[in-house]
Amino acid sequence: MLFQDATNDWPAAVDVLNERGRSPFVLICEHASNHIPAEYNKLGLDDRELTRHIAWDIGAADVTRALSKRLDASAFLGGYSRLLIDLNRPLHVADSIPLRSEATAIPGNLSLDAAEKERRRRLMFHPFQDRLRQHLETRSADGRRNVLIAVHSFTPVYLGQHRAWHAGVLFDKAALLGQALIAQLSRDPLLNVGANVPYGVSADADYALVVYGDQLDNPAVLIEIRNDLIDDPDGVETWTRKLEDALRAVEQLS
């Protein structure tokens, strides 16, 4: 369903859940929404395109919200489509505001002037990052651990290539946590869970894991779930339970 709420065309850039949660885990879902304010005229795309993975991570927000409740964890969810600006990309990279996503051109992002790029950063990118950074700093000042868990989803097929994994756990410095999560999820012999698949972690392709995780010595991993597994309530419930069990099992390692 396309999130176009006429009564709230410019929602908050970040939806914060359970800010006083007691868990050491801080959940991050940058691609939670496919909302595009009406003035952008859907960036020249039709409704069908805006319900696809190119506009958001299908199912990721639902899993994040459910995990926040089950783990008593704080959670930060993006309020706008990544087609406007990607919260999980450094501002200097080309796909911060994508001209193409997968094989789809994004007409509304062509020939943007500097003022429009800065407007999106000011209204969408910086408020999300500032709120998350402030939360982590407050927790640190209170002597609390910050263990960052970013929740994303990926497509079963990408540019014609089939992906066999059910999930991936992405990490760089947090190898102990990442491998422990993979081991826990892989206790189910039917699951194919890989390390750093279907993507890797790098300073040019990731933001929160690098800036708030590795650079600050906070354990940080990104969990990718194949989106056809979490595109309905039953799938969300199944994967929320799997992730809850795995995260509780590795909590002390982090």
Summarised one tens digit per residue, pLDDT across range 43-79 is: 999 999 999 999 999 999 999 999 999 999 999 999 9
CA distance linking residue 49 with residue 45, whole number of Å: 6
What is the DSSP track for the chain? -----GGGSS--SEEEE-TT--SSEEEEETT------GGGGGGG--HHHHTSTTTS-TTHHHHHHHHHHHHT-EEEEE-S-TTT--TTS-TTSGGGS-SEETTEE-GGGTT--HHHHHHHIIIIIHHHHHHHHHHHHHHHHTT---EEEEEEEE-SEETTEE---SEEEE-SS-HHHHHHHHHHHTTSTT--EEET-S----TTT-SHIIIIIGGGT--EEEEEEEGGGSSSHHHHHHHHHHHHHHHHHHGGG-
CATH number, residue 196? 3.40.630.40
Domain that holds residue 195: 6-253
Please indicate, yes or no, if residue 76 is contained in any of the structural domains: yes
Q: How confident is residue 254, by pLDDT bands cut at 50, 70 and 90?
A: low
Query: Is 1 within a domain?
Result: no
Of 144, 190, 192, 226, the residue nearest 182 (C-alpha): 192
Q: Is 121 exposed, middle or buried (0-12, 13-18, 19+ CB in 10 A)?
A: middle
Least confident of 2-11, 68-77, 194-203: 2-11
- pLDDT above 80 (res 187): yes
Task: Decide if 178 is inside a domain.
Answer: yes
Q: Is the predicted pLDDT of residue 189 greater than 70, yes or no?
A: yes
Of the pLDDT bands very low, low, confident and very high (cuts 50, 70, 90), residue 252 is confident
Report the predicted TM-score, pTM, of the whole model to 2 decimal places.
Answer: 0.96
Average pLDDT, the chain: 95
User: Is the bond preceding residue 198 a cis peptide, omega within 30 degrees?
Assistant: yes
- Residue 7: the pLDDT is 56
Q: Which two tokens stand for residue 76?
A: 């930060």
Answer whether residue 242 shows pLDDT above 50: yes
Q: What is the pLDDT of residue 147?
A: 98
Look at residue 173 in the predicted model and tell me its pLDDT: 97
As a whole number, mean pLDDT of residues 77-84 equals: 98
Q: What was the pLDDT predicted at 1?
A: 37
pLDDT digits 0-9 by tens, 93-145: 999 999 999 989 999 999 999 999 999 999 999 999 999 999 999 999 999 99
- The reported pLDDT for the residue numbered 194 is 97
pLDDT above 90 covers a percentage of the chain that reads: 93
What percent of the chain is predicted at pLDDT more than 70? 96
Domain count, the chain: 1
pLDDT at 4: 44
Is residue 127 situated within a structural domain? yes
Q: How far apart are CA 124 and CA 187, in angstroms?
A: 39
Query: Other CB atoms closer than 10 Å to residue 28's CB: what's the count?
Result: 28
Predicted local distance difference test score (pLDDT) of residue 218? 97
